[in-house]
Every structure is written in C-alpha cells, then in structure tokens.
A and B are shown apart, each in its own frame.
Chain A
Amino acid sequence: MGLGGARAMAMARVRALLAKELLDLSRNRLALLPVGLITILSLVLPFGIAVAIPMLTGQELGSDADLVKVSGVAVGHESLTPSARVQLFLFQQFLLLFLLTPITGAMALAAHAVIGEKQARTLEPLLATPVSTGELLVAKMLGALLPTLVISLAGLGLYLGGIVATAAPGVAAAMLSLRTAMLAIWVGPAAALVSLQSAIIISSRVNDARTAQQFGVLIIIPLAAVLVAQFTGALWLSSTMLALLGLGLVGVWLLLVLLSVAIFDRDSILTRWR
C-alpha cells in the first residue's frame, strides 16, 4: 500500500472512531450537561453585569472613571458614548471567557476518554485492531472537541443575538469585528485543541477516572490567568496578537499530539491498569 493509501486508511479509522464517539455521546447526552450549563452561565454573567445591573441600579457603566479609561485604551471606538464603550469592553472581555469556559466542561469528556475505555474493558479489543496510537488519540480528542464546539457556536449565536437585542446603540456593530471572528473561529477552537489534547494525555497516563479529572482541572489555570489579566486591563490582545496566539496554540497542539503518542504506553495500560 502506498503512502496515499495508508493515509486514507488512517483517516478512515479516525472517522470510524469519531463516529463511534459521537454516537455513544448522543446516547449519553447527560455527559454534555456540564458543557451546556457552563455555556448558559457564561451567557448569563456578561448580560447580568453589562446590561441588567446598570438597568436595575440606575447607575450607568460610564460613571466609573477607571472603567472608562481602561475601555478607551482597549477598544477604541471614540464615537461611542462612555457607557457604550464600557459595555463593548465588557462584552469583548466576556467573549474570551465565553469561548474558553465550555472547554472546561469538555475536559471531563476528554479526561475520561482512555481510562473510560479501559474501565469498560473496551480498550484491549480496540488495541488489537490495526488502529495506531495517533489515530486513537486524535479521534478521542475530536470526540470531545466537536460537540463542545457545536455547543459553543450555538451559544455564540445567542451571545451575539443578545448583544444585538439588549446592548447600547453601536455596541453590536462594534462587536462584529475581525477580533471577534478571530476569537470565535481561531483562538477558541485552538485553545480547545490544546486543553483537550492535554486531558487526553492525562487520561492515558493515570489509572482511574477521578485522578484524570482532578489533573484536568489544572489545565484551566492558564486559561483563568489570561482572563484575569484581560479584565484588569493588563493584557489586551489585538487581532494580530490573537492570530499569533492561535497559531502558537495550534503548534502546541501538534507537539502535544506527538507527545501523547510517544508516552501512550500500550504495555502498561494493558498489564498494570486495573
């Protein structure tokens, strides 16, 4: 078989495993509940802060001088009122949170990917087939990523729809920018790739699901650090920086794929895990 044929076979095996993962998940929808709940919370939070609280308290967002200053530096849009600019700033900041937090929900899926097969005793027959370690791990990662992205994108539609419906004039138009697109279709999925591949590595190195999930939580820390830095105004990622960040994340993901293949020890998994 030529290289092209071997690659086609590899792709077919990844597709087969991915189809199985999605089918299995479709019959265990409760597993997606954490992702759905986090997405809903991520929707409620920004609208609560940027729309509901000012409306209920009667205190305009533009009355906070510090916020106005930070938002002016961060978002530009001099034509907007100070309140609208702060609102835009908040919606832009929460967009990152909104895109990253569903990943934390999907971590449970990814962390369970290998250890779950082992505990269900379905891993050994799988490893007895021609499937390679790389194919198996990529399919596992995609099995957690795709449903997460679907939920995230559906949520993004609601998020932008909500902004159109409730935000101050000019905010919605300002949100529909290259930066938003970059975050939504480039950085968000790339961060998801890195996080979920890391969780897959953890899943293939520990020997029980609880440990996998506990280690998985640690992956959230860098994401939280980025969010905090953004909110304090210490870190503002422009479109160019986001493009580079996404590229860097994809590079890290590729390295993680290689690492996950290198350290996936079939021998130990089959003989020492109980």
Chain B
Amino acid sequence: MISAQHLTRRFAARAVVADVSFDVSKSEIVALLGPNGAGKTTTMRMLGGLIAPTSGSVVIDGVPLTPATAGTLRARIGFLTESPGLWDRLTVRENLRTYAALYGLSQPDRAIERVTDVLQLSPQASVRAAELSKGMRQKVALARALLHEPPVMLLDEPTSGLDPEITRGVRRLLEERRAAGCAILVSTHNLDEAERLADRVAVLHERLLAIDRPAALRRRLATGRLIVRVTGDPARSLETVRRFDPEATIEGPVLVLKVVDAEERTPAIVAALVAAGAGVVEVRPEMPALEDAYLQLMSRQGG
C-alpha cells in the first residue's frame, strides 16, 4: 500500500532524509521511531505528497506519487499532522464539515456522525475548537483524518500529549483500522506505544537504521541478560561462559552473561557448558526492552 524507495530529501546541502526505503502493507501498522530532527515528519510529508523528495520515489496503493497524481492520492490518504491545526472559531462539526466537502464526500453528515461516534466526540460537536482541551483537539484532528475512510493513514505523533484513557482509545481505533485493511504509518517518540501497536518498527535517524518486528529488533540489536543455573559451584563454569561474554559474573547461585541475540546463542552456551562437564539446570534469557535496542542504535549513530 505504501512503498518508499530510496527517498532522499535535502535542505540546501544538508540531507534530512537519506536513501530511505521501506513498505507498509495492507492491514499493517509500522511505527517510525527516531529522535527529534531524525527526519520523521519530513518522511511523512514526502509520503503524503506535501513536499517533494530530492530523489527517490513513493508509490501509494499502486500509484506512483507525482505532481500529477498528488491531488488524487491525497484523497486516499488520511494525514494527521504534528499539530491538530483546527480552525479555532469554527465548531468541531464545522471543522469536519469543511474537510468532508474538500474530500468530496457525498454524505458528509453521516461521515461526521460516524467519526464523532467512534472517537466519542459527539458531545463536543457544537463546541468551538478554541474551547477544546489539547486531547480533544487531537481527537478532532484524528477524526478529520478518518472522515473519508482512507486506505492509507500517515499519523504524525497521534497520541502526543494525550492522557492514558484517550491514548488507549486511539490505539484501539488504529487496531480497528488495521483490521479493516488500512496501511498505517505512525511516527512516534513513544517506544511503549510502538511496541504495543506496531507490527513493525522502523528506526530512522536520517537513514533507516533498522526495520523489523519489535521483538526481533530487541533480540537482534540490544544486549540482553542470560541467567544460567548450573549444578554445584557456578565459579567452576565461569571460565566457560566467559568465552561468550568476557564480563560474565556470578550473582548468588547463578551465572549472568550479557549477550546480543541471547535466543540464538543459548544452544552454543549450553553445549559448551555440557562439554565442560557442567550440569545445566536452567537457562533463562531476560529480554531487553525495545528502548534498549533503540538507545543502542542511537548511540551507534551518536544520536
């Protein structure tokens, strides 16, 4: 549904996004993670046809994004901008009605009713946007992005500044859209949200540093702890496990190793211990958090 190929965007000589390629399939949520200034918003804007890439290409729903197709494709994209951007003197309904007309909806009132119901905004429908709380404004902006039931959604920080209850509601809504076949790209700083919501996580820092399922990223990128319990004195097995982690330690009755991709390395560690005559009672990997994987990637970038 969304395909970015070798996307690059420069501002003067400075590349903000460099050679970024990834796809988002139908019924998939991909989270775009990265620090401030990593190029997330610029990537979103290029995918939404708001700004042009310096080089590279975007294909939305099988149609190449060009100046000629941008208008048509924007009608198939639900774009949530970083800031809600509501017209303050207009009510929620008036804001949505204007956008319903811009999207050419044949039954605008029904569409407005649907999105305000889903996002529990009906009581606020006649309230002017200026009077809404930050969370409510974000919900209205999300309602606006959903009005035309787009098959593709690009959401820049959809839960930024929202309270946990609203955040959960938004997450549920996105899961429903995914189940309905929508391809969703969510830019976020929130690692917990990315892990809970996304099928895959893309880590961006000018370049695409990694893209994979959250669990696979954690396993592949971050150093996890491997807890090994052996029969007898663990000190006798210390030398064996230090072949895998030179800084392995003994913590009480167990050996503790720090290894990247613990799951893959466990059989070799167990085999080495058995070969050295140790009785292995338990091997328990402690999975690193996605945050560890993310921070490790960023530290490699100096970010």
Contact = CB atoms under 8 A, between A and B. Distances in A.
Contact of B98 (A9, A19, A124): A19
A271 interface: yes
Interface stretch (B43-51, B198-206, B278-286): B43-51
A28 B81 contact: no
Contacts of B11: 271
B98 A16 contact: yes
Given A124-B81, A130-B72, A271-B51, A12 B104 contact: yes
A132 B71 contact: yes
A173 interface: no
Interface in A17-76: 17, 19-20, 23-24, 27-28
Contacts of B268: none
B94 interface: yes
A240 interface: no
B74 interface: yes
A23 B95 CA distance: 11
B51 A122 contact: no
Contact of A128 (B52, B74, B104): B74
A130 B74 CA distance: 5
A155 B86 CA distance: 34
Question: Main SS of chain A's interface residues?
Answer: helix
A69 B99 CA distance: 60
A77 interface: no
Contacts of A270: 45, 50-51
Q: Most B CB atoms within 10 A — which of A27, A28, A128, A129?
A: A128
A122 B90 CA distance: 12
Interface residues on B, range: 20 to 34
A129 B74 contact: yes
Contacts of A271: 11, 42, 45, 51
A9 to B, nearest CB: 5
B55 to A, nearest CB: 14
Interface in B146-167: none
B88 A128 contact: no
A266 B51 contact: yes
B83 A121 contact: yes
B275 interface: no
B144 A125 contact: yes
20 contacts: A15-B101, A23-B90, A27-B89, A120-B85, A121-B85, A122-B87, A124-B50, A124-B82, A124-B83, A125-B79, A125-B81, A126-B102, A128-B74, A130-B71, A130-B72, A130-B102, A266-B50, A270-B50, A270-B51, A271-B11
Interface of B: 11, 42, 45, 48, 50-52, 71-72, 74-75, 77, 79, 81-90, 94, 98-99, 101-104, 141, 144
